[in-house]
Each structure stands twice: as C-alpha cells, then as structure tokens.
Amino acid sequence: MTWTWFHRLGSPPYVYRLAGRLMPWFAWSAALVILLGLFDGLVIAPADYQQGDGFRIIYVHVPAAWLSLMIYTWMGVAAGVGLIWRIKVAHAVAAACAPVGASFTAVALATGSLFGKPMWGTYWVWDPRLTSELLLLFLYLGYMGLRSSFDDLQRADRASAVLAVVGIVNVPIVKYSVVWWNSLHQGSSLSLAGKDTIATPMLIPLLVSMLGFTLFFAAVVLVRLQGEVLRRERSATWVREALA
C-alpha cells in the first residue's frame, strides 16, 4: 500500500490534479491564519520590556527565517529523491520550492537588518547566523542559476540536484550557529527540548504566524508545481485534455 501511494506521487497527471485540489484549502487557511496571527502579534500582544514595540518584527522575521530553512530541506530532499530514484515529479517539486525559499530567505535577511539597526546600531555585521543565512540565499540563487544554464532538462535536474543535496549541510549551520559560535544574534526563542524564552502572550501569535506562513508556502508551491509539471509534460496528451 505504501509503495502504491509512493508511485502515485511519481505520476505527473496525478500530482497535477492533487495540487489543484489542495491549493485552495491551503490558500484560504493561510489567509485566515496569517491575519489572525499578525493582528494578535502587532495589536494585541504587549510590548517587550526591553525592546519595546520594535520586537514585533519577529512576527514576520521568525516565520520567514523558519521557512528559509524548512523549504531548503524540502528542496534538498526532493532533489535527492529525484536524483536517486529518477522521479521527474521530485525534481519538479525541488524546482517549485527554490524561488519561494529564496524569497523567504531575502525577507528574513531584510527584516533581520531592520531589527539589527536599533538593537545593534548597524544593519549588518558578519555574524555567524547572518553570514550562514546569506550563504543560504546564495545556495538558492545558485540552484536556480544552475538549472537555467542547461538547455537539456535532465542535465539541469541532475546538476542542480547535486548542489541542493550538498547545500543541506548549511541548514544545521544556520540553525545552531548561535550555539556553536559567539554571536550577536539572540538565541532561539522556541525550543522543543527546553523552555521557551518568550512570554505566552507573545508566543501564541508567533506560533500562529509561523503556521500561517507555512500554509502560504504550501499554497504557493502547489501553484508553482502545477506550472512546472505542465512545462515538463507540455507535449503529453493528458496536458491537452486537462487544459481543454
């Protein structure tokens, strides 16, 4: 049963139709959850006793930073599946993830810089967390640039998949950089193993915002995945039937 399900996800027509059915659910859920999280965080949550209202940028910065790592992990895993099992849909998933992940990484860097100016006195320092996050952006851009440099789609899939898989090593570096090295960047406010360092009235809207942004990512990737599948299968009979 498990292998049947796995093989169905390798079918371009099945994945195209499944993405079309799921996308509206993720899109509407994302809109509602993001509005709820941002309203709670920007309006209802109390100001921080040290950082004042400036801390509220975390309701965009933290979800963007979280997604920059999560999306790259998804992209690397999908690329690895495509590389090992030669599943075209897996390469399509990786290709669909890359621009979205790059966008969230850019947002994380931009909002982090805006937060750093009043807190650190500068927009940018070559801090381990910031530097490794910048490297993550370059990995996304490198993946997309490498894909576009090949006219042959199969060669583009293989070359970019290798880069995506190798680049996964940077994900734990970004995550644990504030633990492994001296860093201006504050430690994680959320912990699965220990106690959270953020008060509950501030924590709840943060978790809600993270969920909303994650749902938004899913909706956007499903749309991009449909486009990527159509581009790859444009000469197939099922594509003409689907578009008709």
> Quick one: how far is CA 113 from the chain centroid?
19
> What is the per-residue pLDDT for 192?
53
Q: What angle do CA 23, 6, 165 make, to 5 degrees?
A: 80
Indicate whether 53 pLDDT > 60: yes
The amino acid that residue 141 corresponds to is L
Query: Is it the case that residue 4 has pLDDT exceeding 70?
Result: no
Question: How far apart, in whole angstroms, are the C-alpha atoms of residue 14 and residue 18?
Answer: 6
Name the band, by pLDDT with cuts 50, 70 and 90, for residue 242.
confident
Phi, psi of 48 (to 5 degrees): -75, 145
CB 143 within 8 A of CB 74: no
Query: Quick one: how far is CA 31 from the chain centroid?
Result: 17
Amino acid at 43: V
∠ CA 126-170-77 to the nearest 5 degrees?
Answer: 150
Mean pLDDT of 29-58: 90
pLDDT surpassing 80 at residue 79: yes
Report if pTM > 0.85: yes
How many residues does this entry show for the chain? 244
Measured between alpha carbons, how far is 53 from 220 in angstroms, rounded to an integer? 31
> In 10 A of CB 121, how many CB atoms?
8
Portion of the chain with pLDDT greater than 90, in percent: 70
Q: What is the C-alpha to C-alpha distance for residues 175 and 213, in angstroms, rounded to an integer?
A: 19
Q: CA angle, corner 85, sides to 79 and 86, nearest 5?
A: 70
pLDDT score of 189:
62
Measured N-to-C along each axis, helices 58-85 and 128-148 cross at an angle, to the nearest 10 degrees, of 40
pLDDT of residue 160: 98
> Most distant CA pair in the chain: distance in Å?
62
State mean pLDDT over 99-127.
Answer: 91
Per-chain mean pLDDT for the chain: 90
Question: Who wins on pLDDT, 215 or 127?
Answer: 215
State residue 123's pLDDT score: 86
pLDDT digits (tens, 9 = 90+) for 13-34: 999 999 999 999 999 999 999 9
pLDDT tens for residues 135-156? 999 999 999 999 999 999 999 9
What pLDDT, on the 0 to 100 scale, is given for residue 54?
80
State the amino acid at position 156 in one-letter form. Answer: A
- pLDDT tens-digit map of 170-223: 999 999 988 777 776 666 666 555 565 688 889 999 999 999 999 999 999 999
DSSP symbol at 124 = -
The reported pLDDT for the residue numbered 188 is 66
Sign of CA dihedral 152, 155, 156, 157: positive
Candidates 83, 109, 98, 82; CA nearest to 146 is 98
pLDDT-wise least confident of 79-83, 122-126, 150-154, 170-174: 122-126
SS3 state at 54: helix
How far CA 10 is from CA of 37, 82, 85, 143, 219, in Å, comes to 35, 10, 10, 22, 20
